Structure 1
């Protein structure tokens, strides 16, 4: 009986020891997981690994390495280049507002940097994507108006790029995108005017269509906007203004016909 009791105690002691050993091993394993593998990396190592992640489209990993490089070696040889590539990785990782903020911060800090044109180009692209962020999805402002605001801000950035750096390799693309944004904004305003018209909000339709005529008179949407204005005046029984608007349409058409062919 005594030997059985001793054996039982021995088993219990062994189980307790095994539990302690397992717990210790588990803690060591978890600590090894929590340890930052990059702690001993040099600036060269961090930058090269960040570039590899960037080339592999592993945007989140690239961001992590660039941020650590910036924090640990803020005045090293890779500091400024890492900030530029971090802007790109942030944008590609889906954080457009963060990319815009990082671009603005870089341009304030290094206004005469050799790659400022590229940073401005990235900022404009990220601005166009800002409306897809989770924050803007929660905002109470009108979605269509927010899209128009983003387009105008991007246009201004592209314009600044083209004016400040006319010989930049990004200038032709900036000008092309400016032209596309003008057409897109004009179409947006025209569609908004048409939206109001079909809902019999004729005063609002006239207001938005007049904006097309006023701000986008060199686009194909101008004459459609004028026709919509005339139809809205017809609906409001303001026949004299409807007639005046149609005379403008005819004058525009006659002026285009009289233009010499090239």
Structure 2
């Protein structure tokens, strides 16, 4: 079997995208259109579901299915990895329905959508773990889940949001650790210490916080600061990795 190269994988992706043609959604009653959208959602046919739902949304923006169509679109966009469209639909829904009974679910989906933006196709394809990539989507997701717990502590999504916050906290701490290590390798000793202290302050009880002590130890040793070095070594002994 021939080995697939990166260029061939990308070519397949491009060709498959170009070969698809936009389907014309038939002019049928909204109830029938919504029923076919639901069938597509249940079968995992996200593209078909999105086509039907977008058609409903554009043809009947104030119809009986309006709110549910937007909620379904939020979910379908997320599942289809149309994350920017999902985020825009969430913003629109919140603007039009600020006190909706499913507001906790919408906030949960915002967190999931932001969290999904914290990766890329290439990272997934080659199983690459890049702690040094831009963490802004992870920060957004963390804020969304935190807001969910604050506003809706009894929500059915609260437990999962809390678990995801633990993962995200470690992700953000790992990013700061990569930055501290970068400064250490560049012999920017003070910057390495400052970044390590930020990790310990903002993300305590993480593996990165314990690992940052080793960076501080090296930096203090290079700076010739005996007292901070001794204190750091004591902390390392009390917080083994």
TM-score range, shorter-chain basis?
A: 0.7 to 0.9
Q: Secondary structure at the match of 1:144?
A: coil
1:64 aligns with 2:51: yes
Separation (CA, whole Å) in 2 of partners of 1:210 and 1:34: 54
Deviations 1:160-199 (A, max 9, x none): 1112111211111111111221122223322332343345
Structure 2 partner of 1:153: 140
Q: How far 1:208 sits from its partner (Å)?
A: 2.0
The higher radius of gyration belongs to 1
1:237 aligns with 2:224: yes
Normalised TM-score (structure 2)? 0.77
Separation (CA, whole Å) in 2 of partners of 1:80 and 1:109: 9
Structure 2 partner of 1:144: 132
Q: Relative contact order: is structure 1 or structure 2 higher (C-alpha 8 Å, sep ≥ 6)?
A: 2
Structure 2 partner of 1:101: 88
Deviations 1:28-77 (A, max 9, x none): xxxxx9994512x1111111111111122221111111011111112222
Q: How far 1:221 sits from its partner (Å)?
A: 3.1
Structure 1 partner of 2:17: none
| Counterpart contact for 2:111–2:145, Cα < 8 Å | yes
Separation (CA, whole Å) in 1 of partners of 2:120 and 2:70: 22
Superposition pairs of residues 105-254 of structure 1, within 5 angstroms: 105-132=92-119, 144-146=132-134, 148-249=135-236, 253=238
| Counterpart contact for 2:25–2:55, Cα < 8 Å | no
Counting matched residue pairs gives 212
Q: How far 1:132 sits from its partner (Å)?
A: 4.5
Q: How far 1:215 sits from its partner (Å)?
A: 0.7
Structure with greater helix share of residues: 1
1:79 aligns with 2:79: no
For structure 1, the 5+ residue unaligned runs are 1-32, 135-141, 257-262
Q: Secondary structure at the match of 1:151?
A: helix
For structure 2, the 5+ residue unaligned runs are 1-20, 122-129
Q: How far 1:249 sits from its partner (Å)?
A: 4.6
Normalised TM-score (structure 1)? 0.72
Deviation >6 Å, runs of 4+: none
Q: How far 1:248 sits from its partner (Å)?
A: 4.7
Separation (CA, whole Å) in 2 of partners of 1:175 and 1:37: 41
Separation (CA, whole Å) in 1 of partners of 2:38 and 2:68: 11
| Counterpart contact for 1:95–1:133, Cα < 8 Å | no
Structure 2 partner of 1:24: none
